[in-house]
């Protein structure tokens, strides 16, 4: 049995158990504490990050025909890092040259290597936090969690599912078919896992590791070689990932080119050439619906797993904790300035108001309550900077600017004083009527929210579910005090392919999706065709081939 | 718990166990014996079949705008049966109207209903045998087995996998996340199975039930409604299936339209309109590569599972039982006149001959040995009729005629005296050189085989594996006495996505694929993109949706 597999066997078994039971579990501590990661870990991570700035990123023996890289931190400075780059054909050839050795490695060995890569990525979490912070605009604490341990948990989850699927069929069996009074027919049969080929992972700018690790590790564990195509604005987190993977592969005597980096430049992206290459068998994509649709339509026979986008809704019917509700929603809208794929955009509120523990609250009081809660949450500039972070892409600021005209401004967006030099924007909250569908029925990525006046909560649920079905939605939230009405709404959202959070008022938010418990995206509406991570996400990344012969 | 589920629980559990262990198991006896099926079962089945001839097939309450049906038995007579037919929009609307009730039925109820349908189909096996025989041309014994119990086993296998996948995630869990010294966050979470929508099953003429049941039952068990589109030449077996399904559904108080028949006529097929309909979410297709490719390219967002076609190979390197090998190959070529998707077509034999227990056999002696074994197998006209059956499609006879010019005739094809009035043809065996690629490198469906002279067994293995990779192959066979060479070849065929049978000489044949043990088609080469039945075949036919709320 393989050394690395044995080293990490307990983690793998715990992950399998957690995925089956779906209670809380995590392999990698989310608290950026020196007690856990080592007293110097924070400083060491920052130093490791700083040491990369302005340099050539080192990927030993990686195909290299040129250097690319033009990342600029949303907090201000240019990173000045360059990465090895190569033509698509060069990358494909290198990937194919590494394929046979990787496909022939036993599943235990491949899984052991994946788990070792994750363990090393975990140890590099502080360096990764800085890399994620300065490419995505996430504040440090979030960059640590989402870019580090939470992403690693999602990677481990994919490895656990891959292991379960690969070991579901025995490697051998004896088949004995009775023949009445004659001797039975006895065959010995052997099965082996055969990978699909090359897996292409297309990363996004806002969550370069969290959204890429499931596809990366699912393809890798099942024996495929992987080409990682980062967003040109967020190369560093995936370059570090690829470097760690290549290091472990080489140590284990396997070709480092099993994992390749396909770095490119804005305006000269190689993504389309990779997607349409006939040698690419699997594509994991995170990004816009437009490019997602193009990818699904143009992939040359590859299986395509996507997380695209959608307009997420909150429906407010009634609550027993008006202040808690407003505070919870305020945080969900503010966190990372609404740049999470799980952030709410549309808040449906009955025109006639809602029932609360304080009596009826009018539509305006609800909209005002949320706006005030945001103001309160962000009143301290340092706290505001820690919650909102920075805006990853200048286009998002322009979108906020353009959105001001779409409704009555209940709360205006503004830069954050606590983050000088950074590109920032607090949430814009607009009041609109349900009939203003042009305003709210498309995804407006960033800190833009609509409080939408509807005839009733049921009307809001219907509209939210219909919107999820037609345009996509990853999350939905409901505030409702009646259990029967909650269950009815849960059915409506389920059939629209949306996961629903109900009556969140404390320290848990609709945006949050926990590995091993929450399936991220259902795959059942236009916000994505796959779920992170279920059996369907891994089971088709390999095939099972058999040979049989009469038993002698 | 559901009554039907409880009634069939033991069968389901045994099927799950068999699928996990992959030894021999079958739920439905393959022997057409009165002791098993009842002393009058054979006569009753024939009477039931005869009673349908020349009549309107009854599908109570099925959408009907016209009647179609022009089946003619390959054994001679026209069936004279008409079936209800309706426009695509009518069928889609009826399927959608039935969707909510079916999707809302608990998985136990749906699985119980599927198992009851299978149990009733099993009791109708003798009627089904006649229906399959007179639409496909299979001889009675084969029509009974492949059209009845073996198809039912494949259906049960799909139900068992669907059940395993649907119950993999718990329906509820409590998620408790520690918060240091503060109170933990506790959420209750509930998950439910959400189907994709409408499943379309496109049947073929030669194995109308065996190839359709996996997709039909996989989609049905996972909550999708199903539209069954039979081949215009083999409607009856699937019409009987649909009738049984609708009967059980109606008895259980569910809409019969959960399962619909989409009968049509040659030259006026509605298949393309069904494939391209945006309401169709899942397509299971069995048939030609050309229409398979069209379906994969033109399905409007549906997931497509295909079994297409390929050129299956045998490579002969050496044997310890020359006569047993020749007899085994002779039977594989003759069974149902080569009209099985698993039948071999290309037999690669070294130009310099092969080593046997009788010493070296030359290429000509090997070709002659196979030809003589066919002659011997088919020397008795009644036995020949029982092995070869009849030719399903007149085009196959024309193909045999045209193939005579493709090489040196080692054994000519001829009609079978024991089947007067039937459309019959025994195997044509042609000797060609490996370079005559135009002759053998495409699938020539029917009783056509090539004995191909190659430089060496390794050359044959390489050519057979390459052909599988480029054109597709469902089966491969190898005769080789050296274990190390067997294992090397097994690797070559595995990476070409072909299941391999080695040294078959007795009562088991490369054509045979047993449910619960042999995965039929790997999905890893152009002969099909899916496997019957693995987790990947069912896991993506439904999605899992969750709702969560703070635990109170």
Whole-angstrom distance, CA of residue B129 vs CA of residue B134 = 9
What ranges do the domains of chain B cover?
29-166+189-308, 312-502
Secondary structure element (H or E) that encloses residue B138, with its range: none
Note whether A521 and A307 are within 8 A (CB). yes
CB contact under 8 A, A506 and B185: yes
CA atoms of A32 and A36, how far apart (whole Å) = 8
Q: What is the ipTM of this complex?
A: 0.96
* Residue among B212, B115, B204, B111 at smallest CA distance from B165: B111
SS3 string, B264-302, reads CECCECCHHHHHCCCCEEEEEEECCHHHHHHHHHHCCCC
- Residue B400 token pair: 């045999």
Domain pair B29-166+189-308 / B312-502, same fold: no
Beta carbons of B22 and A539 less than 8 Å apart: no
pLDDT digits (tens, 9 = 90+) for A5-20: 999 999 999 999 999 9
- Per CB-CB distance under 8 Å, the chain A contacts of B24 are 175-178
What DSSP string describes A304-332? EEEE----EEEEE-B-S-HHHHHHHHHHH
Residues with Cβ < 8 Å from A325, sequence gap 6 or more? A316, A319, A369, A479, A503, A505
Question: Which residues of chain B have a CB within 8 Å of the CB of A486?
Answer: 547, 549
Task: Read off the pLDDT of each residue in A445-457 and give the average, rounded to a whole number.
Answer: 98
* Phi, psi (degrees; rounded to nearest 5) at B527: -75, 0
pLDDT tens digits along B435-463: 999 999 999 999 999 999 999 999 999 99
Mutate to test the interface with B, among A488, A493, A535 (most CBs of B within 10 A): A535
Give the pLDDT confidence of A500-530 residue by residue, as tens digits: 999 999 999 999 999 999 999 999 999 999 9
Q: Are strands B428-433 and B448-454 parallel, antiparallel or unpaired?
A: parallel
Indicate yes or no: CB of A175 within 8 angstroms of CB of B506. Answer: no
Integer CA distances (angstroms), B98 to A82, B249, B258, in order: 58, 11, 5
Rounded to whole angstroms, the Cα distance separating A202 from A283 reads 7
Considering the four listed CATH numbers 3.40.309.10, 3.40.50.2300, 3.20.20.450, 3.40.930.10, the one that applies to the domain covering B312-502 is 3.40.309.10
Residues of B in contact with A503 (CB under 8 A): 549-550
Report chain A's C-alpha Rg in angstroms.
25
The whole-number pLDDT of residue A300 equals 84
**What pLDDT score does A245 carry?**
98
- Give the C-alpha separation, B381 to B383, whole Å: 5
CA atoms lying within 13 Å on the CB side of residue A265: 14
Left (φ > 0), alpha (ψ -120 to 50) or beta: where does A503 sit?
left
Question: What whole-number distance in Å separates Cα of residue A325 and Cα of residue A355?
Answer: 13
Test A165 with B508 for CB contact under 8 angstroms: no
| Contact criterion met (CB < 8 Å) for A175 and B21 | no
pLDDT at A141 over 70: yes
Mean pLDDT of the region A330-357: 98
The nearest CA of chain A is from the CA of B423 a distance in Å of: 32
Residue partners of A396: CB distance under 8 A and separation at least 6: A337, A339, A425, A445, A446, A447
pLDDT tens-digit readout, A217-265: 999 999 999 999 999 999 999 999 999 999 999 999 999 999 999 999 9
Identify the pLDDT of residue B474.
98
Residue with tokens 């286009």: A395
For residue A449, give the nearest of A295, A329, A363 by alpha carbon.
Answer: A329
What is B29-166+189-308's CATH number?
A: 3.40.605.10
Measured CA to CA, the distance from residue B463 to residue B442 in angstroms comes to 13
Distance of CA B233 to the CA centre of its chain: 17
pLDDT at B1: 45
Residue written as token pair 């001839």: B53
Instruction: Name the 3-class secondary structure at B56.
Output: strand
- φ, ψ of residue B321 in degrees (nearest 5): -150, 75
Q: With DSSP H G I counted as helix, E B as strand and the rest as coil, what are the percentages for chain B, rounded to 5? A: 45, 20, 35
What is the third-level CATH fold of A3-308+531-550?
Aldehyde Dehydrogenase; Chain A, domain 1 (3.40.605)
Q: What angle do CA B333, B336, B339 make, to 5 degrees?
A: 80
Tokens, residue B265: 């006529």
**Pick from A501, A503, A543: CB nearest B531:** A543
- In percent, the amount of chain A with pLDDT more than 90 equals 98
Structure tokens at A448: 């833009």
| Nearest CB to A548 within list B502, B506, B548 | B502
pLDDT digits (tens, 9 = 90+) for A361-402: 999 999 999 999 999 999 999 999 999 999 999 999 999 999
| A2, pLDDT greater than 90 | no
Low-confidence residues in chain B, pLDDT < 70: 1-2
Task: Report phi then psi at B116, rounded to 5.
Answer: -65, -40
Whether omega for the bond prior to residue A91 falls within 30 degrees of 0, making it cis, is no
Q: Give φ, ψ of A498 to 5 degrees.
A: -120, 135
Which chain B residues contact residue A539 at CB under 8 A?
A: 534-536, 539
Residue B433 β-bridge partners: B453
Q: List helix spans (H) across A25-178.
A: 34-37, 41-52, 88-104, 107-123, 125-136, 140-147, 149-166
For residues A6 and A50, what is the distance between their CA atoms, to the nearest angstrom? 35
Q: How many CB atoms lie within 10 A of CB B392?
A: 25
DSSP letter assigned to residue B227: E
Strand A542-550 relative to strand A182-195, pairing = antiparallel
- Residue B354's alpha-carbon distances to B359, B362, B479, in angstroms, are 8, 6, 10
B253 to chain A, minimum CA–CA distance in Å? Answer: 21
CA angle A177, B335, B351 (to 5 degrees): 100
DSSP-derived letter for residue A516 is T
Closest CA to A198 of A123, A108, A277: A277
Instruction: Say if residues B529 and B523 touch (Cβ distance below 8 Å).
Output: yes
> Count of alpha carbons within 13 Å of A71, Cβ hemisphere only?
36
Q: Summarize the confidence of residues A151-166 as an average pLDDT.
A: 98
The number of C-alpha atoms within 13 Å of A41 and in the hemisphere containing its C-beta is 17
């Amino acid at each position: 049995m393989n050394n690395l597999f044995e080293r990490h066997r307990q983690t793998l078994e715990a992950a399998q158990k957690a995925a089956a039971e779906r209670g809380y579990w995590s392999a990698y501590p989310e608290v950026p504490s020196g007690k856990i990661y080592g007293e110097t870990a924070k400083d060491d991570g920052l130093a490791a990050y700083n040491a990369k700035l302005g340099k050539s990123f080192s990927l030993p023996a990686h195909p290299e025909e040129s250097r690319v890289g033009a990342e600029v931190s949303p907090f201000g400075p240019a990173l000045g890092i360059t990465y090895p780059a190569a033509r698509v054909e060069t990358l494909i050839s290198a990937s194919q040259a590494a394929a046979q050795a990787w496909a022939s490695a036993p599943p235990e060995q491949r899984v052991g290597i994946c788990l070792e890569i994750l363990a090393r990525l975990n140890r590099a979490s502080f360096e990764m936090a800085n890399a994620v912070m300065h490419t995505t605009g996430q504040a440090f604490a979030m960059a640590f969690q989402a870019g580090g341990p939470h992403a690693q948990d999602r990677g481990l989850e994919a490895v656990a599912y891959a292991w379960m699927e690969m070991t579901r069929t025995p490697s051998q069996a004896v088949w004995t078919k009775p023949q009445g009074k004659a001797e039975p027919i006895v065959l010995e049969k052997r099965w082996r896992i055969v990978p699909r080929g090359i897996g292409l992972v297309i990363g996004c700018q806002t969550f370069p590791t969290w959204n890429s690790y499931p596809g990366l590790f699912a393809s890798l564990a099942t024996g495929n070689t992987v080409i990682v195509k980062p967003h040109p604005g967020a190369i560093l987190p995936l370059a570090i990932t690829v470097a760690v993977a290549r290091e472990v592969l080489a140590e284990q005597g396997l070709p480092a080119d099993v994992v390749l980096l396909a770095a490119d430049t804005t305006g000269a992206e190689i993504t389309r050439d990779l997607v349409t290459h006939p040698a690419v068998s699997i594509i994991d994509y995170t990004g816009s619906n437009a490019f997602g649709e193009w990818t699904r339509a143009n992939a040359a026979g590859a299986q395509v797993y996507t997380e695209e986008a959608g307009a997420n809704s909150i429906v407010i019917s009634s609550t027993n904790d008006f202040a808690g509700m407003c505070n919870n929603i305020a945080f969900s809208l503010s966190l990372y300035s609404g740049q999470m794929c799980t952030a709410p955009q549309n808040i449906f509120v009955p025109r006639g108001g809602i029932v609360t523990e304080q009596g009826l609250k009018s539509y305006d009081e609800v909209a005002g309550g949320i706006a005030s809660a945001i103001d309160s949450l962000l009143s301290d500039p340092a706290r505001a900077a820690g919650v909102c972070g920075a805006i990853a892409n200048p286009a998002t600021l322009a979108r906020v600017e353009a959105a001001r005209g779409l409704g009555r401004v209940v709360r205006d967006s503004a830069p954050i004083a606590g983050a000088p030099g950074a590109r920032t924007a607090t949430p814009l909250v607009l009041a609109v009527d349900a009939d203003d569908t042009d305003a709210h029925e498309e995804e407006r990525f960033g800190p833009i929210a609509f409080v939408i006046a509807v005839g009733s909560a049921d009307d809001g649920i219907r509209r939210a579910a219909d919107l999820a079905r037609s345009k996509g939605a990853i999350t939905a939230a409901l505030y409702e005090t009646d259990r029967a009405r909650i269950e009815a709404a849960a059915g409506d959202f389920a059939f629209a392919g949306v996961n629903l959070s109900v009556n969140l008022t404390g320290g848990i938010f609709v945006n949050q999706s926990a590995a091993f418990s929450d399936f991220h995206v259902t795959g059942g509406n236009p916000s994505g065709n796959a779920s992170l991570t279920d059996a369907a996400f891994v089971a088709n990344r390999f095939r099972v081939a058999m040979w049989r012969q009469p038993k002698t």
